[in-house]
Structure 1
C-alpha cells in the first residue's frame, strides 16, 4: 500500500509539474525584431501593440497575433480612363509597411495581411490611379510618366495612411493603352520619320547645290587668275607649260606637227614636221 501511495503521489506530482510548465510556457511570448503582436483575450483585442521583447499574457484564454513590420512588396493592377476618354491600364509595385502604433486597429478592422492587400491596398490603388489618370490625356500620361506617378503616390499615400499603412515607394511596372491608340501612335511615328527623311533629303540637295556653286566659283576664279597671268609678261611660257603638262598627263605623245606663230612673243607654236627632222638626221 505504501508503495502504491508513493507511485500515486509521483504521478500526481509529475502531472502538476507538467501543468505548471504548460502554464508557464503559455504565460509569456517573445516578439522578434521587425514584428509586433496584438494580444487578444477571449477574442477581444487589447490596446497597445506588443513590440520586440518578452511579454506576459494570460495562459489558455489569450492569443497573440504577430504582424510583420518589415517592408512588404505587392504588385497591384489598375485600370482607368484618361481625360480624353482613352483606356489606360497599369501595374504598380507597391512597397509598404505597417505602422507599429496602428497594428491593433489593423487587427480589429482588417485582420490578416492578406486582407490588407485584397481589401485595402488593391481598391485604393485603383481609386488613386483613376485620380492621377483623369488629370491628363493618354499621350501626357506616357510622355509625363513621372508626373503621373507623383499624383498617384500622393493620392495613394493619403488614402492608406488612415489605415495604418505606410507607403514607402511605388513604381510603374507596366503601362499600356488601347490597341486603337497604339496604332495611332505607330502611324504618327511613321509620319514623323517620313517628314524627317524629307527634311534630310532637302538639306542634302541644298548642300549639294551649294557645293556646285562653290565649285563653279572656284573654276571661274581660277580661269580669271590664269587669264591675268597670260596677259602679264611671260604669259606665253605659262601657256606652253600648260600645254606640255596636258600632253604628258593625258598620255598623249608629242605631235609630229607643231604650229607656232612667227612672232616670237606668241604662245602658239609654229608649224613644222618633226618627222622630217628625224629623216634628215
Structure 2
C-alpha cells in the first residue's frame, strides 16, 4: 500500500475514534441524568433505598433528585385500600358464625419506610388479613348468636376498635369496617324460625285474651248501667205514677177502639147484640 494513503487515513481514524468517544460520554451523561431524578405520583410515597438500606426520608408527590446507581426509590400507594374476607368464629353460646367483613384502611404516609423495613409490601396477607380474623374471633366470642344480630352496630364498633389498635402497630390506619353478613348453621336458622313462629302465636293469643277481657268488661259495665237505670226507675215509681200510666193505657185503648162491642163474651152477664135489636 502506498505510504501516502496510509498517512491520509490516520487523521480520519482519529476523528472517528473521537466521535465515538464523545458519543459514549454523552450517552453515559444522559443515562446518569435520567437516573438522577424520580417522579412520585399522586397518592403515593417514595421509599429511598441507599445501597439496599432504608433511608429515614420519605419522598412526597412530585419530582425528586436521587444519587444515580447509589439510591433506588420504591413507590408505595397510600390511598384507601379494601380487604374483604369471610371469617368463621364461635359465638358465646357456641354457635358457629361465618362473618363477611369489609375493611377500608390506608398506610401512614410518613411511616411507609418503617412499614417497608419491618414488613415489606406484602402487608395485606401478612398483617391485615390475620388481624381481621383475630379481631372478629375475639369480639364474636363475647356475644350470643342472637345478640350478634340484634346488637350488630355494637359488635361492629368493638371489632373496629380492636382492629384499629392492631393495625396501628404496623403504621396502618383503619378507616372503616362493615359487617355485610352473618351466616349461621341450618339447625340454628330453623330454631330461630320456630321461635319466631311461637312468639307470633303467643302474641296473637295474648291479643285475643286482651280482646275477650275488654269485651267482658264492656258487658259488665253495660249490665251495671242497665241495673242502675232500673234501680233509679224503681225509686221513682209512686202510686200517682201507676195511676197515670193506667189512665194513659186506657186512653190509648179508646183511641184504637172502632166503636163496636163484642158479640160474645165470657162471664155471667151476657152482652146484647145491638145490631140484631135494631
Cα deviation digits, residues 129-183 of structure 1 (max 9, x gap): 1111122222222222233223322321222212111112212111222222222
Tell me, which stretches of 5 or more residues in structure 2 are unaligned?
1-8, 262-274
Aligned position for 2:106: 97
Aligned position for 1:250: none
Closer, same or farther in 2 for the Cα pair 1:15/1:232, shift >3 Å? farther
User: Pick from 210, 214, 222: which aligns with 2:221?
Assistant: 214
Describe how 1:102-181 pairs up with structure 2 within 5 A: 102-112=111-121, 115-181=122-188
User: Pick from 45, 56, 74: which aligns with 2:65?
Assistant: 56
Counterpart Cα distance in 1 of 2:237 and 2:248? 11
User: Pick from 274, 277, 281: which aligns with 2:258?
Assistant: 274
Q: Could you tell me the TM-score, scaled by structure 1's length?
A: 0.75
1:127 Cα deviation after fit: 0.9
1:236 Cα deviation after fit: 7.5
Counterpart Cα distance in 2 of 1:40 and 1:266? 123
Closer, same or farther in 2 for the Cα pair 1:108/1:213, shift >3 Å? same
1:11 Cα deviation after fit: 5.9
Tell me, which stretches of 5 or more residues in structure 1 are unaligned?
240-260
Counterpart Cα distance in 2 of 1:184 and 1:124? 32
**Which structure has the larger Rg?**
2
Counterpart Cα distance in 2 of 1:49 and 1:170? 28
Counterpart Cα distance in 1 of 2:43 and 2:240? 104
Counterpart Cα distance in 1 of 2:182 and 2:195? 19
Q: Could you tell me the TM-score, scaled by structure 2's length?
A: 0.76
Closer, same or farther in 2 for the Cα pair 1:110/1:276, shift >3 Å? same
Residues 1:186 and 2:193 are matched in the alignment:
yes
Aligned position for 2:97: 88
Range 180-189 or range 144-153, more displaced: 144-153
Counterpart Cα distance in 2 of 1:122 and 1:87? 20
Counterpart Cα distance in 1 of 2:140 and 2:243? 86
User: Pick from 37, 46, 59: which aligns with 2:46?
Assistant: 37
Describe how 1:200-279 pairs up with structure 2 within 5 A: 200-224=207-231, 231=238, 265=247, 267-268=249-250, 269-270=252-253, 273-274=257-258, 276=260
User: Is the contact made by 2:48 and 2:73 (CA closer than 8 Å) also made in structure 1?
Assistant: yes
- Number of equivalences: 251
1:275 Cα deviation after fit: 6.7
Aligned position for 1:196: 203
